[in-house]
């Protein structure tokens, strides 16, 4: 298992593309904070507004969508993230299709990242107690299918060239929530920052004290133990 084995030049651009607001911090918040602390530039692209993360306190999808934009910007500030691009697809109904493949190919070519991050489209189950959200799988599928072969090949979506977005070469793809991990990142020093960022997602976390306690319990229950915090990935290094 690789552990913290990356050595990219300062200023390396990392583009995180996921389904919902709060996914970046939940899935890989420690890693994002570590990357920005190391001087890498991290940007987000979020495919939905998360407007179906409803609860008794937040029952209105339209208002919730607006609120989640504000919450996500505050969380991204804690993470040191540069920009957030919203795509506004309906929450809960994300499906991979050719139109979205083109939209995301355009986005990646425009942002010119060296590293792209999403979530593993092959992860149906998370541990023994959870089904992965279909939007998370769809997001990973859209990103992977955009990246290869469309982003790096001018034959795909030639109209993007006319728009000023020619083919771009991405060096690596990192998939969070991996079915089969091949990288583990020890982000213990960044766990607190991750929790602080998550606390900005007011509409999703319930009572803050209870949430923090739950995060601590969850951390203690992993095989890494209470003294370590690991985030894992499927890392693809393109040759
Ligand atoms: Zn999500």
Cα of 172 from ligand 1 centre, angstroms: 23
For residue 85, the CA-to-ligand 1 centroid distance in Å is 16
Strand partners, 2: 183
CA of 21 to the centre of ligand 1 (A): 7
The count of domains in the chain is: 1
Residue 79 CA, ligand 1 centroid: distance in Å: 18
Ligand 1 centroid to 155 CA: how many Å? 33
Q: Could you give the angle at which helices 134-145 and 98-111 cross, rounded to 10 degrees?
A: 60
pLDDT given for residue 190 in this prediction:
97
Identify the band that residue 11 occupies on the pLDDT scale cut at 50, 70 and 90. very high
* Arithmetic mean of pLDDT over the chain: 95
Q: What CATH number does residue 140 fall under?
A: 3.40.50.10320
Q: What is the pLDDT of residue 4?
A: 64
CB 91 within 8 A of CB 52: yes
Query: Which band of pLDDT confidence, cut at 50, 70 and 90, is reported for residue 31?
Result: very high
* Ligand 1 center from residue 198 Cα (angstroms): 13
Which tens digits make up the pLDDT trace of 120-174?
999 999 988 999 999 999 999 999 999 999 999 999 999 999 999 999 999 999 9
Q: What percent of the chain has pLDDT over 70?
A: 98
Distance 4 CA to ligand 1 centre (A): 25
Mean pLDDT for the stretch of residues 176-199: 96
Separation of CA 22 and ligand 1 centre (Å): 7
* 159-178 per-position pLDDT tens digit: 999 999 999 999 999 999 99
> Containing domain of residue 43, as a range?
2-237
């Amino acid at each position: 298992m690789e552990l913290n084995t990356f050595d990219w030049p300062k200023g390396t651009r990392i583009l995180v593309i996921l389904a919902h607001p709060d996914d970046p911090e939940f899935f890989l918040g420690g890693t994002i904070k570590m990357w920005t602390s190391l001087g890498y530039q991290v940007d987000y692209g979020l495919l939905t507004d998360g407007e179906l993360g409803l609860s008794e306190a937040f029952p209105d999808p339209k208002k919730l969508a607006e609120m989640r934009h504000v919450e996500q910007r505050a969380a991204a500030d804690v993470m040191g993230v540069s920009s957030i691009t919203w795509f506004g697809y309906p929450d809960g109904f994300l499906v991979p299709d050719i139109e979205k493949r083109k939209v995301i190919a355009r986005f990646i070519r425009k942002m010119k990242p060296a590293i792209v991050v999403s979530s593993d489209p092959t992860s149906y189950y998370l541990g023994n107690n959870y089904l992965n959200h279909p939007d998370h799988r769809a997001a990973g599928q859209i990103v992977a299918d955009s990246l290869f072969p469309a982003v790096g090949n001018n034959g795909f979506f030639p109209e993007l060239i006319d728009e000023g977005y020619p083919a771009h070469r991405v060096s690596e793809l990192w998939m969070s929530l991996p079915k089969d991990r091949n990288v583990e990142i020890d982000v213990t020093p960044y766990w607190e920052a991750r929790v602080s960022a998550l606390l900005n997602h007011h509409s999703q976390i319930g009572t803050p004290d209870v949430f923090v306690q739950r995060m601590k319990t969850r951390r203690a229950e992993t095989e890494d133990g209470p003294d370590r915090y690991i985030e894992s990935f499927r890392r693809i290094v393109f040759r």
